[in-house]
Structure 1
Amino acid sequence: MIKSLSLFVLGALVAGLVTGSALFAYGGPAALRAAEVVEALGALWLNALRMTIVPLVFSLLVTGVASAADAAATGRLAARAFALFAIMLVIGALFGLFAMSGLIALWPVDPQGAAAMTAAVEGQSTVQVPPGFAAWLPTLAPSNPIRAAAEDAILQIVVFGLIFGFALTRLPQAQRGLLTQVFRALAETMIVIVRWVLLAAPVGVFALALGIGLRAGLGAAGVLAQYVVMVTGVTAAIALLPYGLILLTRRSRFADFIRATAPVQALAFSTQSSLACLPVMLEKAQDDLRVPPRVAGVVLPLAVAIFRLSSPVANLAVAVFVAHLYGLSPSFAQFAAAVAVAFVISIGTVGLPGQASFFASIAPICVALGVPVEILAVLLAVEVIPDIFRTVGNVTADMAVTVVLEDEAPEPATALG
């Protein structure tokens, strides 16, 4: 279903660009007026997608913090796994930020193509001026969380969601379970709405792409191709980190790790689902890498549930590219906020459908950078390509942390005579 929808969306993007380019070159006044109606339809679809961001992000943060706290409290192995996950996610977030910034410096985006793309979807957001650190610091804590939600102050929502989530873990089990179920139900409800909106993605993307074609012809296609190459390259490169981790900690197992991980990566490439790869990961970890079942049975399901190494890498790469499209230079404080948001969002959005997680994961990072989010609806159409490498990187990291933590196997209980 998701794969076929992705192909339809990609086809709609191409059709919209071609149709818009034809109208740009040959269309008369009547055709241009009709195109304006189609563009308005695209704006409606985009707003329907945007309306889910705040409740989805907040509810995912609360349930993500609660789940992570429960996992860390289940024992030494789970706690060590969560600590390793956190370290690798921070490294990944910083890598995504610096790698994409470096690539853009070496390969700048064509200004005319960028201007045409952003002009096609502008008018919904206001580009924010980066504040100084002294002005930015007090805004971390929302004086009014309701107002912060109404104003799409994502960073404040993230901070409040984290505080709320950690406070929730201090409640008695009955109250904690009740509230967690409420927010989990809220998140699932938002996901249902997102899925409904995404069913109309071919129409919405066609309408937005039509506007781009009207303003830029086919020139925007080069910008989209550059985006795919750059984001895919940065996302694929982070897959080297798990290999480095194995070389550093389990050098004698490096060749075995390569052989055991290759079939898992092939499955990830074809399915684009870490969860679908879990049975094969368990088999390869236990049979080929000789990881004790007690370790593999804890670490791998936990990794699939709350750990996606490629998420902050790819999400920050996309957000930095979008900032460059708009000609923005975020401040250091905004970059720091974006890294923090990318870290917590990567945990909270695990398990979402690929297209739903694209918008829910990257929009908060863009807002933290002071970057408009409307262009994400167009980039969604080509996400199917980078998403393949997201999944490959994720399963490679899952296998690596399992091997690294194999010494943490608890001793089996012995019967007392």
Structure 2
Amino acid sequence: MLRNWQEVLDLLAIIVKIPAALIMKVEPPHIKVCLSSHSHGNPYEEHEMAALGTGLYCETVMATRAPLLVPDALADPHWRNNPDVKLGMISHLGLPLVWPDQNIFGTICVLDGRENHYSPPFLQLIQQFRGIVERVLKQIYYDEVRVHEEAAIRADDAKRVRLEFAAIRDREQKALQAIKESKQRWHFALEGAGDGVWDWDMARNTVFYSKRCLELPGFPEHKSLVDFAEWERCPHPDDAATVLAEVQACLDGCIPAFANEHRVQAGGGWKWLLTRGMVVGRDDAGRPLRMTGTYSDPQAGRSRLAGTERPPGRTGRHADGGIAARHGTDRRHGKDGLAGPPGGRCGPRIEHAGGQYHPVIVEPEGSHRGYLRARRRQAADGQRAGRIPAQRQGRL
């Protein structure tokens, strides 16, 4: 743009044979030489600044917003002391340059060191050049307006986004506070009724115990957060398989919840507790993420030492009757009523394999299932049972 303007100024100076053709830009309290023709005898340098209020030709052009022709300043008392006369420029022809919003940009002018009335064709030519300059100014102006409008829109959008995020944060804080208060009320209600709360976070593989949950079996307070393997070791070995099988059934979605009465290690002995639980979170694929439940004392004050018999009717169960209840069997007895060997036990665990949690039943030598198989073989071949080295892993 400026390069084109410069070429036109140089051409004007050549056509009229004058030393100076200028585009001036007002920058209060000064006026600046924006562009100056590259012609012989031109006393004005590009970017040169002059103070306003000193009687310059351009000041009158900008004030009147009309063309100004001064053929000979020396012959005109009003202009003979003009600052440009001191530079030898005694004739002047100037036109105002105006922004689209009607603010003054500056002037376009030509100056000569001799008297010059400038012909009508030249006046028409310089007016055409002014039109070209003002069209460019119009484009610049509306480009800047668009930039400012877009910036304002972006600022409004940013403000709206900030307000929306602030509202979201506020709602989240209120929701978290409501959840916290609800959880506190829930814990208060449960623990007020004597129940303790536990929570299994499968992503972190940790189990959280509430204070009451620790008190029931007599766990130390520093055990409020343990890994699942430690929780898995809590049930009595004779009860563990049933407990973990029902946990797995709940994890697999076979049952909505479980409730199992079993013995838990308490100090140097064992204590009967009723454990309830349900899955409270799953991912998009249906895999369990969190399980929550409670411990409660099925008969307040009733404790059992290690090896005590399960009271009549005490079987593992869940919300709809339980695995052991449905099959009508105690973990210590087979379906045919044959008692397992003393000390027979199952050592279950829940493993994560292939994206699932599985209880794995390890049946050591002498377990009740191996014992029953041996008894049946004895009946078939009439031989006396010997040592049964049976050890099997299976998935429930």
Larger Rg: 2
Structure with larger RCO (C-alpha < 8 A, sep 6+): 1
Name the structure with the higher strand share. Answer: 2
With normalisation by structure 2, the TM-score equals: 0.22
**Structure with more helix by fraction:** 1
